[in-house]
A and B are shown apart, each in its own frame.
Chain A
Amino acid sequence: MERRSLTATILVHLAALVLLVVILAPVVWLFVMSISSTPDLIAKPLHWWPDTVDLSRYGVLLSSVANSAGEAFVASLFNSIKVAGMATVVALIVAVPSAWAVSRTPSVGWSLYAVIATYMLPPVALAVPLYMTLAWAGLLNNVFGLALVYLTILAPFTTWLIKSGFDSIPREIESAATLDGARLDQILRLITLPLAAPVMATAALFAFLLAWDEFFYALLFTSDQRAKTLTVAIADLAGGRVSDYGLIATAGVLAALPPLLVGLFMQRALIAGLTSGGVKG
């Protein structure tokens, strides 16, 4: 390790402190807003820390009283879970066999470039026909319709990620099992899929979060509590005439909690994905 002068050490620590504040301050402020009373939030000069901690907004948003802000929020929470869950399951079902095929068959390797290419497509390129088709099929403002649309993002994404997972499992293991007389379905069921389970779990988790964060299609294709997702509900709150900024912040904290926890606890898998270019920015 190189030796540093005392000045350099102090400068490095100061810079680290600045970076810490830059990273943490906005997130912490979101949380502080969610637990501050309204008088604290509109005080001048602003109260950076509330006089009394007020957790009531969490109760308001998570209540299911009819026609309350909570009812709409809880409905959008469940819609997000349903849409993201369905899209993730279907994406995995179509992605796993394709990913294995691409990984083990060099002659179809070029099709992976086609998959990556669709992943780069801007959503606006598909939005108009998708809207017309959903309207025609009666699937506008419907969780199934939105989940179907989310496959446009999730199917290429999971195929790409799981394919790189299969790549890291030596094919010699499969060849050896073939020599021992195992059939393809036995090889996949007993050897390859168990070995690829961690990658598939990671892909499922990221796919779920990708759908959880999605906003553009949800804004276009949903219009009320029957299908509106969390992101649209929050944008409604932020852009609407809600005067309680703390309530908007609380909705943000609740929506951010699942991805933040996954981000903190799955750091290693995440960074491995980032550096291989497999995770969207």
Chain B
Amino acid sequence: MTSNWLTTRAWFLMLPLLIVMIAIIGWPLVDTVRLSFTDARLVGTEGSFVGFDNYVKILSGTNFQRTLVTTFWFAVLSVALEMVIGVLAALLLNQQFYGRSVLRALMILPWALPTVVNATLWRLIYNPEYGALNAMLMQFGMIEGYRSWLGEPGTALASLIIADCWKNFPLVALIALAALQAVPRDITAASMVDGAGAWSRFRFVIMPYLAGPLMVALVLRTIEAFKVFDIIWVMTRGGPANSTRTLSILVYQEAFSFQRAGSGASLALIVTLLVTVLAVAYAALIRKSAGAS
């Protein structure tokens, strides 16, 4: 069998997938690009060519700039929190204690909970009149009166980040734990004989094993956080006063609530470009770690 024939056979076998991907991913993506240069409405008018008008308006508008900043803070804070708590939890789960295997198994629960259910659950917890958070803080005497955690611009984003973090830090912990279990015992033992303290043991002996998997988790989580929609839509719909409005929420409002398909499409492409930059970094990391091992 020649390699030419093998390649032809491979493309033939991939034909069904290619047709599906072109029809429902490739073509819509191209059409989004076309729409982004028009003033098309979602329903009704086809729209006419307007050049870069949509892009200019979006990039110079305060809505976009403010939303970009909100998205940035959501992504940076939630991912940073998830990484730190995740690694700490993994270090703990790698120690000996009673019930360790049970706790390791339970770590999967927040991750398995559907995002919409997680958002609904935290919305109930934060409820201003009957929520568990208010009740608990009150009983411990930590607040004077019930607060509207999701209803005030000052606390809404932080409350969302905590809810997102609770769902996602166990994922980081499980990835980090798997990496920790790959650290050879005799290396840590040898470093202790050599008199390394806890911090230098972590920094110089364990960290090299953690770095690769953690980088992958970091980039994947950052991409997800940049695309965030579900948890915010269910908990605050971007409010109050647009203080939790992220890029995906803004696209939804522009294209579907206001039915401006043209500028919605250009906004969606700007988001896609930002995600692509992150994804390229991810691909480079995978290739690098594949080359290293």
CA distance A132 to B47 in the complex (A): 13
CA distance A155 to B23 in the complex (A): 12
Distance to closest chain B CB from A13 (angstroms):
5
Contact present for A238 and B119 (CB under 8 Å): yes
**Which chain B residue shows the least CB distance to A44?**
B135
- Assess whether B11 is interfacial by the CB under 8 Å rule: yes
Contact present for A219 and B98 (CB under 8 Å): no
Q: Which residues of A contact B226 (CB under 8 A)?
A: 122
Contact present for A13 and B108 (CB under 8 Å): no
Main secondary structure of the interface of A (DSSP, over half): helix
As a 0/1 sequence over residues 34 to 64 of chain A, the CB contacts with chain B under 8 angstroms (1 = contact) are 0000000110111000000000000000000
- Assess whether A173 is interfacial by the CB under 8 Å rule: no
- Assess whether B220 is interfacial by the CB under 8 Å rule: yes
Contact present for B21 and A156 (CB under 8 Å): yes
As a 0/1 sequence over residues 244 to 274 of chain A, the CB contacts with chain B under 8 angstroms (1 = contact) are 0100110110011001101110010011001
As a 0/1 sequence over residues 204 to 237 of chain B, the CB contacts with chain A under 8 angstroms (1 = contact) are 0000000001001100110110110110011001
Contact present for A151 and B120 (CB under 8 Å): no
- Assess whether B69 is interfacial by the CB under 8 Å rule: no
Contact present for A274 and B175 (CB under 8 Å): yes
Q: Which of B92, B166, B271 contacts A125 (CB 8 A)?
A: B271
Contact present for A152 and B24 (CB under 8 Å): yes
Contact present for A281 and B221 (CB under 8 Å): yes
- Within A82-116, the residues touching B (CB, 8 Å) are 90, 93-95, 97-98, 100-102, 104-105, 107-108, 111, 113, 115-116
CA distance A106 to B188 in the complex (A): 39
- Assess whether B83 is interfacial by the CB under 8 Å rule: no
- Assess whether A191 is interfacial by the CB under 8 Å rule: no
**Which chain A residue shows the least CB distance to B267?**
A124
Q: Which of A135, A152, A238 contacts B234 (CB 8 A)?
A: A238
Contact present for A41 and B130 (CB under 8 Å): yes
CA distance A245 to B216 in the complex (A): 39
- Assess whether B25 is interfacial by the CB under 8 Å rule: yes
As a 0/1 sequence over residues 209 to 243 of chain A, the CB contacts with chain B under 8 angstroms (1 = contact) are 00011011001100000000001001101110000
Distance to closest chain A CB from B169 (angstroms):
9
Q: Which of A13, A46, A118, A220 contacts B132 (CB 8 A)?
A: A46
Contact present for B97 and A231 (CB under 8 Å): no
Contact present for A116 and B283 (CB under 8 Å): yes
Contact present for B110 and A27 (CB under 8 Å): yes
Contact present for B114 and A23 (CB under 8 Å): no
Q: Which of A2, A135, A152 contacts B25 (CB 8 A)?
A: A152
CA distance A278 to B175 in the complex (A): 12
Given contacts A12-B92, A260-B109, contact A107 B25 (CB under 8 A): no
Q: Which residues of A contact B99 (CB under 8 A)?
A: 16, 20
Contact present for B108 and A267 (CB under 8 Å): yes
Given contacts A94-B16, A215-B115, contact A29 B132 (CB under 8 A): yes
Number of A residues, CB within 8 Å of B: 96
Contact present for B24 and A19 (CB under 8 Å): no
CA distance A9 to B92 in the complex (A): 11
Distance to closest chain A CB from B125 (angstroms):
7
CA distance A275 to B210 in the complex (A): 12
- Assess whether B89 is interfacial by the CB under 8 Å rule: yes
Q: Which residues of B contact A123 (CB under 8 A)?
A: 227, 229, 248
CA distance A121 to B278 in the complex (A): 11
Contact present for A277 and B42 (CB under 8 Å): no
Contact present for A100 and B13 (CB under 8 Å): yes
- Assess whether B122 is interfacial by the CB under 8 Å rule: yes
As a 0/1 sequence over residues 231 to 272 of chain B, the CB contacts with chain A under 8 angstroms (1 = contact) are 001100100000000011001100110000100110111011
- Assess whether B59 is interfacial by the CB under 8 Å rule: no
Contact present for A252 and B121 (CB under 8 Å): yes
Q: Which residues of B contact A4 (CB under 8 A)?
A: 96
- Within B9-39, the residues touching A (CB, 8 Å) are 9-11, 13-14, 16-18, 20-21, 24-25, 27-29, 31-32, 35
What are 16 A-B pairs with beta-carbon distances under 8 A? A9-B97, A12-B95, A16-B92, A16-B100, A24-B106, A42-B129, A45-B139, A98-B13, A101-B10, A124-B252, A128-B255, A130-B28, A212-B114, A216-B229, A220-B256, A259-B112
List residues of A whose CB falls within 8 A of some B CB.
1-2, 4, 9, 12-13, 15-16, 19-20, 22-24, 26-27, 29-30, 33, 41-42, 44-46, 90, 93-95, 97-98, 100-102, 104-105, 107-108, 111, 113, 115-118, 120-133, 135, 148-149, 151-152, 155-156, 159, 212-213, 215-216, 219-220, 231, 234-235, 237-239, 245, 248-249, 251-252, 255-256, 259-260, 262-264, 267, 270-271, 274-275, 277, 280-281
Please name 15 further chain A to chain B contacts, defined as beta carbons within 8 Å, in addition to the given A125-B268, A128-B261, A255-B117, sorted by A numbering.
A19-B103, A22-B166, A29-B121, A45-B138, A101-B10, A104-B6, A107-B6, A120-B276, A125-B29, A152-B25, A238-B234, A249-B120, A251-B120, A264-B108, A281-B171
Which 5 residue pairs spanning A and B have beta carbons closest together?
Answer: A263-B112, A46-B135, A129-B31, A105-B10, A129-B28
